[in-house]
Amino acid sequence: MTQTTNGGRVTPAGDVVLPPPPVRRQLLLWLRIGTASFGGGQGTRLNVYRAFVERGGWMSPLEFAEAWAVCQIGPGMSLVALSALMGYRFSRAAGAAAALFGLLVPSGLITVALTIVYLRLDEYPLTQAALHGVVAAVLGLAIANVIFNARPLLAASREKGLGMLVLALVLIATDAIVFAAASPPVLAVLLPSAAIFAICSIVRARTA
């Protein structure tokens, strides 16, 4: 890892990343994300990406995409894992605690408030129509999230050669088809893909 003059660093992929902000500033950002990211996990992940990668520059897009992949390996909610991972990488235990508190306390309270409202309004046709629209908008957010993560991963594969890029695209397409056709458990799709890509990466490193 290379240091830069302003205390930042250059990632192995060559992106320049700024040093993380103080924990108090991180806490405020997470609190804002936990309060305003309506649209469930998709809206929240988008705001995390915007705040820490696009605006802050404290993590590169490739680091973010890889961190998201690491979060799929362990159990439980990936976004909870992601916030703990990012907080810990930025500022150890204090950063992780700030991330978890800031993300989950406001969103947990809002969840309870929305539940109370929903229990009273769910039989009205107007509520159902509005929810249908919300769900459709969330699908749009989800596609944006996929693209923000696909770009750096495909670029990183391209740097390893055309063969790895083609393999990456084939894996994405195959996984989508397998999942659509058979709906297996998600891990049953992720792990074979990871194994194939790992083996090809090793072979490529040996022969390069």
Partner 1 sequence: MGVQFVLLFLFIFKAQVISNNGIASLPSLHADLIGQGWATDPQFAGALVVGQMTPGPNGLWIVSLGYIVAGPLGAVVALCASTIPPMLVLPIDALYRRFGSLPGVEGFVRGIGLAVIGVSPLVLAQVLQGSGFDAGTAVIASVAFVLVLTRRVPNIVVVLLGALAGVLIYR
Contacts of partner 1 in 13-32 (CB under 8 A): none
Residue 91 is a binding residue for partner 1 (CB under 8 A): no
* DSSP-H helix ranges across 13-124: 23-36, 40-48, 61-73, 78-121
Residue 68 is a binding residue for partner 1 (CB under 8 A): yes
Query: Alpha-carbon torsion 203, 206, 207, 208, what sign?
Result: positive
CB 36 to partner 1: min, Å: 6
CB 57 to partner 1: min, Å: 15
The C-alpha angle 126, 128, 134, rounded to 5 degrees, equals 105
Please, which of residues 143-202 interact with partner 1 by CB under 8 A?
Answer: 143-146, 149-150, 153, 156-157, 168, 171-176, 179-180, 183, 185-187, 189-191, 193-202
List all residues 6 or more positions away from 53 whose beta carbon is below 8 Å from its beta carbon.
59, 60, 61, 64
Q: Are strands 16-17 and 2-3 parallel, antiparallel or unpaired?
A: unpaired
> For partner 1, which residue of 17, 46, 59, 99 counts as binding (CB under 8 A)?
46
Question: Phi and psi for 91 in degrees, rounded to 5?
Answer: -145, 35
> For partner 1, which residue of 47, 61, 91, 98 counts as binding (CB under 8 A)?
47
> For partner 1, which residue of 15, 78, 120, 162 counts as binding (CB under 8 A)?
78
CB 23 to partner 1: min, Å: 17
CB 1 to partner 1: min, Å: 10
Stretch that binds partner 1, among 3-11, 21-29, 107-115 (CB under 8 A): 107-115
Residue 11 is a binding residue for partner 1 (CB under 8 A): no
Contact assessment for residue 87 and residue 80, using Cβ atoms and an 8 Å cutoff: no
Residue 204 is a binding residue for partner 1 (CB under 8 A): yes
CB 87 to partner 1: min, Å: 10
Question: Phi and psi for 2 in degrees, rounded to 5?
Answer: -100, 135
Which uninterrupted H or E stretch holds 3?
strand 2-3
